[in-house]
A and B are shown apart, each in its own frame.
Chain A
Amino acid sequence: MSAPAVHLFQSQPNAARRSERAAFWLFRAATYLVLACGLGVFGTIFFKGAGTVFKAEAPFINTTFFTDAPESLYIFEFEGKKYEMGDGAFRAFKEKHPAAAKVKSESYVYSAGGIYPCIVGTVLLVVGSMTIALVLGVCAAIYLNEYARDGVFIRFVRLAILNLAGVPSIVFGLFGFGMFVIYFGWNVSLLAGWFTLAFMVLPVVITASEESLKAVPKGFREGSLALGATKWQTIRKNVVPYALPGILTSSILGIARVAGETAPIMFTAAYVVRDKLPWDVEKAGDFFFQGVMALPYHIYVVSSKIPQNDYTERVQYGTAFVFLLVVALIAASSILLRNHLRSRYKW
């Protein structure tokens, strides 16, 4: 009995094939290593942060973490028992037990309470700056895609947009500080932060909007023009409505960028700590000229200005968890919606 005959065209193992497979495995390993690193970062922060944000009994979410302002944490021993308390609770405790007035305590700033003012501040910053960026960016994209004819000027504008996209965020921070905070005299304020962030995210919005406008078929415009509509009527009725979903979803990626950046707001809009909430203002006009606390800056403060130990870890990981979750949700919805849209509109 001879061995079963090998088919003439069946692939034979040889050196070239082996090296090819080895090379492909290397590429595969690189890809999965990147994914593993990303997952590692997400996993660590989710796993450790979940301990602060969730709890075992109903309602399963640590509501005070979302509704309180940051406080100092006091750790002390009293009558043989160990206590951990926030600022307010510690004061109440001392009033209740006069003997505790002189008790020795360790304290860590920002380690108790919650992050409510930071969440509010971040939401305000994102809403304001995205409004400005969307208005400017969509209008610019409409001009570039609908009106402009190729020429020196347009090439110059595109070059400027490309270059603007590459400018480091800290330079935007310096610029915002020099122009809005000092030259315009707005001080550290919401308004200064809005404009700084809006200019930073402008290239993202313009590129995204232009892509969506380009995706609207030429026939839509030509049909409208042939029926006697003016250019503006065509754009308003036949181009922008079809591009708008695309513009909005792609711009969500811009939101993730605005919410995530720390460097531009460090000197333009963010306060380390502020007792008042943004709507506690005397005049309505003051609203725009106040600094706010913001999540990314708060993470910077709690991770660099206070020591690392078991007590401070909770607020550090908790804040990072909430922040990462928010940004990840925004980014994920953008990516998913975009893929969905791509498959939906087939012209």
Chain B
Amino acid sequence: MSESNSTAAPAAFAVQKRRLRLLGLTLDDTIKAFFGGNAVVAIVVLTLITIFLLREGLGFFTQNSQSLRVYRQAGLEYVDFIRAEVDDHTALTRYLSDLRLRQFTALTETKQLPLEEANAALATFDAFADRFGSTVDPLRSLLSDLTEQATAIKTKFIVTGDKKEERRQLLAEGKTAEAAAVQIEETDFAGELKPLLATLPAFKEGNREFGRALLATLDGAPVMPAPELAVRMGKLKQLTRAYVAGLPAVEHALETWDYTRPIPAWKAVSSFVFGRQWLTASFWQDWYGVIPLFIGSLMVSIVALVLAVPLGVGAAIYINQVATLREQRIIKPCIEFISAIPSVVLGFFGIAVLGQALRALSQVSWLSWMPGFPYSERLNILTAGCLLALIAVPTIFTLAEDALNNVPRAFKEASFALGASRLQTIVKIIVPASLSGIISAVLLGLGRVVGETMVVLLCAGNRIAIPDFTAGLSVVTQPVHTMTGIIAQEMGEVVRGSIHYRALFVVGLVLFALSLLINYVAQGIVRKYRISIG
């Protein structure tokens, strides 16, 4: 019975359709797989961005570590101890010339003396300043000698590296004879450094003499006419004494300095992350520290957000809660339209119009109470910040308006029913209910601003230095350089594969990570504090 069953053909369906199969997939499956493949593209692109930024950028850290090693072995680090000492002295003389300027303006403006007489009155002060300044001269000449020596050692090492590379290339091409002909002289750092280190006793001698001479000049300091200036003179004396007291520490650092001490591996990373100098194509030593660029980006973004958040959120509240339907219909597309202005056009507007206009505004006399006004740099943090605010406002406005829109009607109605006014409802009910959305809107606006390139490249002033925060709020009138700007500016000029090139990719990596972080936090806030309607 069972046998006959198994041999019988399976019952046919009333309607049967043969399906074409490709690799075991029906046509519909194939189509689905095709669309699915397209959906994966977003993931693939993100992965590829990560891979290629790492591929070009990671080499930076080995190259940087190598560069730091040469910096030590060729004695550049040794010379920089002395350079720091001399630079500190220069800072003191700058303080002194600032003092002279104050005295001079006091004489010309309050006492109304003509220029020649004012200069004559300052003759004793000038003599003192000259003595003060010239104490460092012997050290400075020693420094320039040492600089030359160290540079020579470094150059020798680099030439050797180039020759090695040449030989490697020749060997790769199979030209053994030519490769053998390339003369390579291994750099003997110990031997090369000997004359450099031999100057230590002379330096010690000179250093003590320098300290004594400096203190001796202080005794001959002229008496200041005004109490305010006398305080400053006292400050200078105090600073100078502290400086002289610090001189033996430099000697100690030089004595204990050892060129064979290895550079720890984390130095290559920390000198990038915490480096306070971005200095390239220098004859002495290149530094790739991201801090000045990071601070520049941060300052510009802060200024932009300070301007954009009140405007964007205020406009969103107005459009969503206060405005008439007709106003809404007209204004909403207009603000969206602003977001379509290309950033390079805004940058051009900043160079051509806004920079000058803001500077002219800063020189209006009744505005001089504002911090930093008047200023002379046309392109600075403020100019770039104002334009970036215009970029951030539409983003913040659109997203914040969406968030306000998502507050359930019942909230508003309940509030009105309890007798609250419109303003009370907005401030106490609607805005708190949509706060998570508003915050994430601000964060996404920040993401937009940090990643913006053309405006900061054209309008931020492009001076690679940490702005002077001692100036207080007027720091916003100083020029800076930014992470996005430096990539756009220097990428076109660098040699492929060089340390500078790789450093720019690492800056790109930092930007990429930053944008992902901002996105992640913004989404997290929305998810965590989403209002439950129930």
A-to-B contact residues, CB < 8 Å: 16-17, 19-20, 23-24, 26-28, 30-31, 33-35, 37-38, 41-42, 44-45, 136, 139-140, 142-144, 146-148, 156-157, 159-164, 166-175, 177-179, 182-183, 199, 202-203, 206, 230-232, 253, 256, 259-263, 266-267, 296-297, 299-300, 303-304, 308, 313, 316-317, 320, 323-324, 327-328, 330-332, 335-336, 339
Known contacts: A45-B349, A139-B34. The answer to whether A34 contacts B397 by CB under 8 A is yes
CB-contact partner of B38 in A139, A166, A173, A324, under 8 A? A139
Which residue of B is nearest A263, CB measured?
B453
A interface, by DSSP: helix, strand, loop or mixed? helix
Alpha-carbon distance between A169 and B312 when the two chains are bound, in angstroms = 23
| Interface pair A263/B53, CB less than 8 Å apart | no
| Interface pair B43/A160, CB less than 8 Å apart | yes
Known contacts: A44-B349, A167-B512, A171-B451. The answer to whether A148 contacts B46 by CB under 8 A is no
The answer to whether B172 has its CB under 8 Å from any CB of chain A is no
A16 CB to closest chain B CB, in angstroms?
6
Alpha-carbon distance between A161 and B317 when the two chains are bound, in angstroms = 29
| Interface pair B41/A140, CB less than 8 Å apart | yes
For window 415-459 of chain B, which residues contact chain A by CB distance below 8 Å?
421-423, 444, 447, 450-454, 457-458
| Interface pair A157/B340, CB less than 8 Å apart | no
| Interface pair B52/A169, CB less than 8 Å apart | no
CB-contact partner of B341 in A172, A173, A174, A324, under 8 A? A324
Residues of chain A with a CB closer than 8 A to B318's CB: 24, 27-28, 30-31
Known contacts: A38-B334, A232-B31, A323-B345. The answer to whether A178 contacts B56 by CB under 8 A is yes
| Interface pair B39/A175, CB less than 8 Å apart | no
| Interface pair A34/B453, CB less than 8 Å apart | no
Alpha-carbon distance between A179 and B47 when the two chains are bound, in angstroms = 12
With most chain A CB atoms within 10 A of its CB, the pick from B34, B311, B518 is B311
Known contacts: A169-B451, A267-B492. The answer to whether A320 contacts B38 by CB under 8 A is no
What 10 A-B pairs are tightest by C-beta distance, nearest first?
A168-B451, A260-B342, A30-B314, A331-B340, A139-B38, A143-B35, A27-B318, A178-B52, A38-B338, A20-B423
Residues of chain B with a CB closer than 8 A to A173's CB: 487-488, 491
CB-contact partner of A20 in B342, B343, B422, under 8 A? B422
The proximity string for B residues 327-354 relative to A, scoring 1 for CB distances below 8 Å and 0 otherwise, is 0000101111110111111111101110
The answer to whether B305 has its CB under 8 Å from any CB of chain A is no
Known contacts: A16-B421, A163-B519. The answer to whether A170 contacts B351 by CB under 8 A is no
The answer to whether B113 has its CB under 8 Å from any CB of chain A is no
Alpha-carbon distance between A159 and B323 when the two chains are bound, in angstroms = 35
B59 CB to closest chain A CB, in angstroms?
12
Known contacts: A174-B505, A178-B55, A303-B458. The answer to whether A144 contacts B39 by CB under 8 A is yes
| Interface pair A303/B351, CB less than 8 Å apart | yes
Residues of chain A with a CB closer than 8 A to B349's CB: 41, 44-45, 320
| Interface pair B43/A156, CB less than 8 Å apart | yes
The answer to whether B194 has its CB under 8 Å from any CB of chain A is no
| Interface pair A304/B45, CB less than 8 Å apart | no
The answer to whether B315 has its CB under 8 Å from any CB of chain A is yes
7 more A-B residue pairs beyond the given contacts A163-B516, A328-B341, with a C-beta to C-beta distance below 8 A: A30-B314, A168-B453, A179-B48, A199-B45, A262-B454, A263-B484, A313-B352
| Interface pair B488/A170, CB less than 8 Å apart | yes
Known contacts: A168-B511, A179-B48, A320-B348. The answer to whether A140 contacts B38 by CB under 8 A is yes
| Interface pair B340/A35, CB less than 8 Å apart | no
B194 CB to closest chain A CB, in angstroms?
44
Known contacts: A34-B393, A168-B511. The answer to whether A175 contacts B52 by CB under 8 A is yes
Residues of chain A with a CB closer than 8 A to B241's CB: none
Which residue of A is nearest B484, CB measured?
A170
Alpha-carbon distance between A177 and B487 when the two chains are bound, in angstroms = 12
Residues of chain B with a CB closer than 8 A to A324's CB: 341-342, 345
Residues of chain B with a CB closer than 8 A to A336's CB: 333
B481 CB to closest chain A CB, in angstroms?
14
Residues of chain A with a CB closer than 8 A to B335's CB: 34-35, 38
| Interface pair A164/B508, CB less than 8 Å apart | no
The answer to whether B279 has its CB under 8 Å from any CB of chain A is no
B502 CB to closest chain A CB, in angstroms?
11
| Interface pair B49/A171, CB less than 8 Å apart | yes
Can you spell out 10 A-B residue pairs with CB atoms less than 8 angstroms apart?
A42-B341, A166-B444, A167-B512, A168-B451, A232-B27, A260-B345, A296-B344, A304-B458, A316-B348, A323-B342
CB-contact partner of A266 in B492, B508, B518, under 8 A? B492
With most chain A CB atoms within 10 A of its CB, the pick from B318, B348, B450, B515 is B348
Residues of chain B with a CB closer than 8 A to A146's CB: 35
Alpha-carbon distance between A316 and B351 when the two chains are bound, in angstroms = 11
The proximity string for B residues 489-521 relative to A, scoring 1 for CB distances below 8 Å and 0 otherwise, is 001100010000000110010011001101110
B428 CB to closest chain A CB, in angstroms?
13
Alpha-carbon distance between A129 and B42 when the two chains are bound, in angstroms = 16
The answer to whether B390 has its CB under 8 Å from any CB of chain A is yes
Residues of chain B with a CB closer than 8 A to A42's CB: 341
Which residue of A is nearest B27, CB measured?
A232
B interface, by DSSP: helix, strand, loop or mixed? helix
Residues of chain B with a CB closer than 8 A to A231's CB: 28, 31-32
A126 CB to closest chain B CB, in angstroms?
13
Which residue of B is nearest A42, CB measured?
B341
The answer to whether B195 has its CB under 8 Å from any CB of chain A is no
The answer to whether B36 has its CB under 8 Å from any CB of chain A is yes
| Interface pair A300/B518, CB less than 8 Å apart | no
| Interface pair A335/B453, CB less than 8 Å apart | no
Residues of chain B with a CB closer than 8 A to A300's CB: 344, 347, 454, 457-458
The answer to whether B22 has its CB under 8 Å from any CB of chain A is no
Which residue of A is nearest B504, CB measured?
A174
The answer to whether B1 has its CB under 8 Å from any CB of chain A is no
Residues of chain A with a CB closer than 8 A to B508's CB: 170-171, 174
| Interface pair A157/B40, CB less than 8 Å apart | yes
CB-contact partner of A38 in B341, B348, B444, under 8 A? B341
Which residue of B is nearest A335, CB measured?
B333
B63 CB to closest chain A CB, in angstroms?
17
A11 CB to closest chain B CB, in angstroms?
11
Alpha-carbon distance between A142 and B34 when the two chains are bound, in angstroms = 10
B92 CB to closest chain A CB, in angstroms?
39
With most chain B CB atoms within 10 A of its CB, the pick from A37, A206, A297 is A37
Which residue of A is nearest B449, CB measured?
A168
Residues of chain B with a CB closer than 8 A to A170's CB: 451, 453, 484, 487-488, 508, 511
Known contacts: A26-B314, A262-B453. The answer to whether A20 contacts B421 by CB under 8 A is yes
| Interface pair B351/A308, CB less than 8 Å apart | yes
The answer to whether B523 has its CB under 8 Å from any CB of chain A is yes
| Interface pair B45/A164, CB less than 8 Å apart | yes
Which residue of B is nearest A167, CB measured?
B515
A145 CB to closest chain B CB, in angstroms?
10
Alpha-carbon distance between A261 and B346 when the two chains are bound, in angstroms = 12
B150 CB to closest chain A CB, in angstroms?
35
Residues of chain B with a CB closer than 8 A to A23's CB: 423
| Interface pair B496/A182, CB less than 8 Å apart | yes
Alpha-carbon distance between A28 and B393 when the two chains are bound, in angstroms = 15
The answer to whether B142 has its CB under 8 Å from any CB of chain A is no
| Interface pair A327/B515, CB less than 8 Å apart | no
